Amino acid sequence: MQDLTPNARALAEMLAKAQVREVLESYFHALDAREEERLAACFTPDAVATHHSGSDSEFTLTGNAEIARYFVALMGTFDASNHNASNAVIRASGDSASADTFAIATVVAADRIRVRGLRYLDELVRSAGRWRIARRTHIPLWQYETAPVKPHLPR
């Protein structure tokens, strides 16, 4: 990227950031849609994901297949889920990028709804023109639970 003009360099950086954001959005959508193959495609084959569960509990998953299989199975224990990225700071340089993303996850079980604030710290790499997450740290920030309320849907 050193041979590019300042404008071309800025455009390349903007494109890289947009593509990284697309990976983050694809992850959240695949998670909520329970799409294991698409979820796995968000990670490198040798990705490492450390998941902090709160109360000093954490575990690490290795490899895109293991990460996708675990989280699709976990989401399958809920009736519904919705993950929303609220904001992200993305830095890209060449074929490496980092993303610091805040998100809100809502999961619904038969008698409880859990809402959790999350922070994802990601390191991404670009290979063959495609961005993927190589290292992820998942950190819960806050959480509350409530009873569900049946929605009133107009006819």
pLDDT digits (tens, 9 = 90+) for 14-48: 999 999 999 999 999 999 999 999 999 999 999 99
Give the CATH number, domain containing residue 133: 3.10.450.50
Number of domains in the chain: 1
pLDDT in tens, 78-102: 999 999 999 999 999 999 999 999 9
1 domain-assigned: no
pTM over 0.95: no
pLDDT for 2 beyond 90: no
User: What residues have CB less than 8 Å from 49, skipping those under 6 apart?
Assistant: 43, 60, 61, 62, 67, 133, 135, 136, 137, 138
The domain in which residue 42 lies consists of 6-146
